[in-house]
Structure 1
């Protein structure tokens, strides 16, 4: 995706919630997202679904993307994760081999693992990142997280589960 086709003004206006700017942003990134999805997904139906998911998430979370330079990588990660999720759903990819994953992690230097883990947390959408950090780093209980965020226990557990799946997918990739 060429960030050059998106002006800083359009991006910043979209980040601040200007609906017209969000529409312009979506129109400009759509061809690149669709092209990337066609190259990344196993079927054309999956590529359409992945592209739509990425565009929908962008429309909802553009305010959380800190800089125009981060937009491309954020969108491509969303498309890639969605393609992987769709492929796993219909059995086109092998299941997650936890033992092999653990063995790969054990071979890597600790500093590299920390950087990868920090990048994985940073890649999470904010609503999942917040819950995962509260639970895994601050070691808060589900009830404490629910009380602090004003959510039900079920909502916290669902977000935490989704966050861990996204973290795992990021670290596998």
Structure 2
């Protein structure tokens, strides 16, 4: 068994143990996914919110990992939690009426990109779970097709097909959004 596959197996075992209430497993699970959470938060949160988003996401995982229905859905669920946390923090910042300078500069310089980012997030949210999982693993975690196939225990051809269909659904969603006034 390769190191990557072995680590995926151990992460799956950690998730199952954490769901069972094993506090050591919860701690190890949080440590193993903290870098992924931080990387995602850096891409989707304001610079001043990254640490808060990471901490809140770790708390949500600790409190709600037991309610996760399938260990295989952990990665998709994790990215959903961090995305929602980034959105919550952005809304809180806007409701206070003040934006930090770096966020204000980003809005001025990249307004079309921000709009596109929100549209892409909505498109991803509209995907069925099995498509969302593959697109998150490939485009956000930057895993190869072979790594995704190993993680999901499916043939690489099936993963390629699912990824192609997921991207087509995202394009379809975005083209429909662009056509809607």
- State TM-score, norm by structure 2: 0.47
Higher helix share: 2
- State TM-score, norm by structure 1: 0.49
Higher relative CO (Cα under 8 Å, sequence separation at least 6) belongs to: 2
